[in-house]
Amino acid sequence: ETGVTQSPTHLIKTRGQQVTLRCSSQSGHNTVSWYQQALGQGPQFIFQYYREEENGRGNFPPRFSGLQFPNYSSELNVNALELDDSALYLCASSPGGQAKLFFGSGTQLSVL
């Protein structure tokens, strides 16, 4: 059984650029959630995708967007990067209709 994998592991961008983060869900999981974890904070919910549709969104601006593909992998896109976007971005997958999440190792994004 393959766990949740995220790429890249680290990324450095400059303010105003755009970034795409990728996530492959665990086998058999059709739901993917994205979380932002700033230094010293707990993960904060960005949004969730279920069967390729957005299924709930946290308090993040529209420049945070996502996609889920037919194989249930997912992308997180952030436009017009700001310094405060520097954080660890976590992807988590789950079987549909369950709150038990399986997390990836995260992508550490630094915005300079």
Q: Tell which positions 80-99 bind another protein, by CB under 8 A.
A: 90, 94, 97-99
Nearest distance in Å: CB 9, another protein: 12
Distance (Å, whole) CA 80 – CA 103: 26
**CA dist., res. 88 & res. 82, Å (int):** 14
User: What's the closest the beta carbon of residue 28 comes to another protein, in angstroms?
Assistant: 16
Determine the 3-state secondary structure of 83 from DSSP.
Answer: helix
Say whether 85 sits in a helix, a strand or coil.
Answer: helix
Q: Exactly one of 21, 101, 109, 111 binds another protein (CB under 8 A); which one? A: 101
Footprint on residues 3-42 left by another protein (CB under 8 A)? 4, 31, 33, 35, 40-42
Q: Whose Cβ is closer to another protein: residue 74's or residue 81's?
A: 74
41: left (phi over 0), alpha (psi -120 to 50) or beta: beta
Smallest separation (angstroms) from another protein to the CB of 21? 16
Residues in the chain: 112
